[in-house]
Amino acid sequence: MRTASVLVTGASGEIGHGLIDRLAQSGRSIVTVDIAPLEPPLARKVRREFTGSITDKWILERVLAEFEVDLVFHLAALLSTRSEFTPVTAHEVNVEGTLRLLEFAQHEGESHGRPVVFMYPSSIAAYGLPDLDTKTRAGRVHEDEWNTPSTMYGCNKLYCEHLGRYYARYYKQLAVDTPPGRVDFRCVRFPGLISAVTVPAGGTSDYAPEMIHAAARGEPYACFVRPDTRIPFMAMPDAVDALSTLASTPREKLSRTAYNATAFNPTAKEICEVVVQAFPGARITWQVDKKRQAIVDSWPMDVNDGAARRDWGFAPRYDFRRAFDEYLIPTIRERYAA
């Protein structure tokens, strides 16, 4: 008998930390795949940990042989800055890895007779605004507007959203025998995420979490974007909530496969001011990296998440003030004091 399980890829990354805690609390059997071994406290919460890349065929074959997966959280990805340095590797991991996992989910569903729910975090990087004037005029962009990303990562995310929609609605549409059941693909397009317990690596929205963590460690920080830079953000617990809530929403309530979700959208200067208030010794300077700035400038200043609120009740707990006062600052202080 294969064990009914949830599969989490990219499990040791930023979202994985919070998500595994949440899944473990619900008592689910968790199987993980990550190129890095899980930290021991996280590893203790999972039933089986596979260390390797999602592009390694043998890993998914072993998962399929041993576990009955009915829910996938596909978190593994190379983020936007990293992907610009290694675009072909980014394509392999972000696109080919996702395709392989969608096939895996389809086969799992066929083997146990129920559609596998496939949770996919996409990103505001799926948008691409041509210049700052347009960005300001566009305001809160809707899911179907400005889908013209300028980064490899954004192109990868947008394409995989479409791949997921294809698997959910049109998979092998011309086959004589239509496969029984399709992958139940559900995607949240996240803004920049800020966690109090992990520091991101390889992203371009990283200036916000980097600024906060550097200040808490008493280290200087040179912010790589202009003070007036504005994009949407969300505190990590709200991102984990969003994925869990969307995963458990009855299918018939969902009118789309990809949903915007956001919480607050301060400028870099506003983030800096709150950080300096919390850590009065913080040494934050501005050292704009024109190329990374151009990427952030191509992302919307805000997104319209009305569909997520309507269809599955998305309602973030943390606005800008609460995210700092009640989550980031106390948790980070405690972390570095320890």
Give the integer Cα–Cα distance in Å for 108 and 159.
23
- Choices 41-49, 198-206, 240-248, 314-322 (CB under 6 A): range interacting with ligand AKB: 198-206
CB 61, min distance to ligand AKB, A: 30
Note whether 78 binds ligand AKB by CB under 6 A: no
Note whether 79 binds ligand AKB by CB under 6 A: yes
Note whether 12 binds ligand AKB by CB under 6 A: no
Identify whether the C-beta of residue 185 lies closer than 8 Å to the C-beta of residue 168. Answer: yes
Note whether 301 binds ligand AKB by CB under 6 A: no
Note whether 146 binds ligand AKB by CB under 6 A: no
Give the integer Cα–Cα distance in Å for 71 and 24.
14
CB 15, min distance to ligand AKB, A: 10
Identify whether the C-beta of residue 58 lies closer than 8 Å to the C-beta of residue 120. Answer: no
Candidate residues 10, 203, 300, 316; the one interacting with ligand AKB per rule CB under 6 A: 203
Note whether 127 binds ligand AKB by CB under 6 A: no
Total site size for ligand AKB, rule CB under 6 A: 10
CB atoms within 10 A of CB 61: 12
Note whether 120 binds ligand AKB by CB under 6 A: no
Candidate residues 9, 32, 106, 123; the one interacting with ligand AKB per rule CB under 6 A: 123
Identify whether the C-beta of residue 237 lies closer than 8 Å to the C-beta of residue 277. Answer: no
Note whether 265 binds ligand AKB by CB under 6 A: no
Note whether 192 binds ligand AKB by CB under 6 A: yes
Candidate residues 32, 156, 195, 205; the one interacting with ligand AKB per rule CB under 6 A: 205
Contacts of 50 (CB under 8 A, 6+ apart): 31, 32, 33, 34, 59, 62, 63
Note whether 259 binds ligand AKB by CB under 6 A: no
For the range 173-178, what are the long-range contacts, defined as Cβ-Cβ under 8 Å and sequence gap of 24 or more? Answer: none
Beta bridge mates, 30: 6
Note whether 263 binds ligand AKB by CB under 6 A: no
Identify whether the C-beta of residue 36 lies closer than 8 Å to the C-beta of residue 198. Answer: no
- Alpha carbons within 13 angstroms on the beta-carbon side of residue 196 total 18
Residue with tokens 């309530």: 253
Give the integer Cα–Cα distance in Å for 66 and 277.
52
Residue 20 tokens, joined: 């595994």
Candidate residues 102, 124, 152, 307; the one interacting with ligand AKB per rule CB under 6 A: 124
Note whether 266 binds ligand AKB by CB under 6 A: no
CB 259, min distance to ligand AKB, A: 15
Interacting residues toward ligand AKB by CB under 6 A:
79-80, 123-125, 153, 192, 203-205
